[in-house]
Structure 1
Amino acid sequence: MSTIPDNVLWPQLRPRLVRLAYRMLGSVADAEDVVQDAYLRWQAADRDAVRQPAALLHTIVTRLCLNELKSARRRRETYVGPWLPEPVVDTHETYADDLTLPLMLALERLSPLERAAFLLHDVFGMDFREVSDAIGREAAACRKLASRARDHVHAARPRFPATREQGMKLAAAFFAASRDGDMESLRSLLADDVAAYADGGGKVPATPHPVLGLAAVLERHARMAREFVHAPSVLIRHAMLDGLPGFITIEGGGVLQATALQIERGKVAAIYVTRNPDKLRHLNAAPGR
């Protein structure tokens, strides 16, 4: 039986549960909804029968996320353009688990059970007995699920990432060069195989397909630079977004935008631009940098 009162237990566990739900779903709003639902179920639980409240709450959140992913996958089949996770502004307290945006995209390509087993064991430190209880599979099966997921995540992990300071300096240089139309400076910042992804979700204008390769990305930014002359890009702040250096801006037409840069060997290897307003509502209250 749990002897920790709710007004102590819940504030301690809630941030961790939101992190788990966000890593599972890639959506801040959906994560908050799942955790709120979990709290209501916890309130209705027989407390006298609960020996490990934290394990039970992780199980509830995981199973709610697995149910949500069934409908989320159907929605993404009809999603307009590239799908990116909702960007979260990193602070010292939030999401400090080494899962960057590219690694979250790697998780997106896994089955829901693989994702759950990996997150619960490798990221949140639960043993496989607890993972087994949470996802309803034998412990041996959970080991295999986590192992397959680990291989995918390892393959997606940058081999030569930048430090936080190096990344923020490069992001500032990228912003200046791209907004000033300085294509030579921009060229010097980009990897030859750079890729750019823009998520507008069909709600605001965005490039509907990934832009691949140095020449194509430079051409796209040259067109954008001509647009900035008439509709300047306004910098709100530089920020770390899901573990990547980047910045938040207001673009033409008053569109809020988050740009995150994946750095590899001192060059920008990938550009992730989120413009879908449904994915940016939470950034208005995010702390500045």
Structure 2
Amino acid sequence: MLLSTHEADLFESCRGRLEAIAYRLLGSAGDAEDAVQDTYLRWQAADRDYVETPEAWLTKVLTNLCLNQLTSARARRETYVGQWLPEPVFAGDRMLGPADTVEQRESVSIAMLTLMERLSARERVVYVLREAFGYAHTEIAEMLDITEPNCQQIYRRAKQHMATDRTRVEVDEAAARRIVEEFLAAAVSGQTETLVKLLTEDAVIIGDGGLFYPTLSRPLAGARRIAQFVRLAIKPADGKRKAFGRPTLFATIANGMPALVMVDGDRVVGIVCVEATSEGIAAVHAQVNPDKLVRANRRWATVAHGEPLLELW
């Protein structure tokens, strides 16, 4: 059935919210876009005269599409080459969704999106809809065709799995740039101790290159080990870095976290998100898989970048 102008506009008015839900559920901007497009096709094919509350109907369809995709995604990630990380999204992108509360901002951080991988598909759906979007248990239960007590039980279980004692520092542009500048200065200083002082004792670094670039085969933990690794990664012994040419580095915010953006020409080739806590830098997430930088590249081409930090290699 063809959509009327009103019906098409109605869907577009919901698109941003649908993208934000799908991104939190799937951890991938590309997969989120596909899920929203599939929802649009189902909206187009539906007998819309019988849809009493379009936003609720669209959210239910999207949620169940994501639920199905999460099940298959879990199987795909078991055979993923290297470490899997969520797809980073720059500040200002509507896919990040609401950011009015601490819970909403936390739910979209790379750290939390990675932690959500511990949850079952249904736990993740319930947790995201309740924690980040404030849906009542009655509404979530109706979307998933489960009872309200069952929904509450799933939510409690998910909250236990997501518990963390880290207090992440919220940043504005100036603070993000300062944190990234300090991290970069320490990394290129050649002094291991300088970088160790910025990291928490149990800090971790994770790299995702997918099939394209070799990265760490598993997370590397410990401030001193990370500092030694970063020194070698930034200053290769042969003085060459063929994979990324001569990247220019910028500071920005991605997923609410300070981020270092590597740009080769006009193309984003890497985004390094730094998890800054009250105790120091607790995690470094390096995304260099080109498949997970598509949306970031589209946005990078349309926004001001500020002054670059430096050029490497």
> Does TM, scored on the shorter chain, surpass 0.5?
yes
SS at match of 1:191: strand
Partner of 1:50: 51
Q: Give the 5 Å matches for 1:162-201.
A: 162-164=170-172, 165-201=174-210
Please state if 1:120 is matched with 2:129. yes
SS at match of 2:175: helix
Partner of 1:270: 283
Q: What TM-score, normalized to structure 2?
A: 0.83
Decide which structure has greater helix share.
1
Please state if 1:150 is matched with 2:151. no
Please state if 1:8 is matched with 2:17. no
Percent of pairs with identical residues: 33
Partner of 1:27: 28
1:261 to 259, 274, 281: 274
Please state if 1:89 is matched with 2:90. yes
Cα pair distance change 1:233/1:243, threshold 3 Å: farther
Cα pair distance change 1:60/1:162, threshold 3 Å: closer
Aligned amino acid, residue 258 of structure 2? P
Provide the aligned length of Structure 1 versus Structure 2.
284
Structure 1, residues 138-189: CA drift from partner, whole Å, max 9, x if none?
A: 1111111112222333x23632525334343111211233235343432221
Residue 250 of structure 1 deviates from its aligned partner by 3.9
CA contact (8 A) 2:19 2:95 kept: no
CA contact (8 A) 2:29 2:87 kept: yes
Q: Which runs of 5+ in 2 are unaligned?
A: 306-313
Cα pair distance change 1:26/1:206, threshold 3 Å: same
Cα pair distance change 1:203/1:169, threshold 3 Å: same
Residue 43 of structure 1 deviates from its aligned partner by 1.2
Residue 59 of structure 1 deviates from its aligned partner by 0.4
Partner of 2:221: 212
Structure 1, residues 198-236: CA drift from partner, whole Å, max 9, x if none?
A: 011132121111111012111112212322843475234
Q: Which runs of 5+ in 1 are unaligned?
A: none
Partner of 1:61: 62
Partner of 2:308: none
Cα pair distance change 1:233/1:224, threshold 3 Å: farther
Residue 78 of structure 1 deviates from its aligned partner by 0.7
Q: Give the 5 Å matches for 1:72-83.
A: 72-83=73-84
Residue 76 of structure 1 deviates from its aligned partner by 0.4
Please state if 1:225 is matched with 2:238. no
Q: What TM-score, normalized to structure 1?
A: 0.90
SS at match of 1:239: strand
Cα pair distance change 1:262/1:151, threshold 3 Å: same
Aligned amino acid, residue 73 of structure 1? R
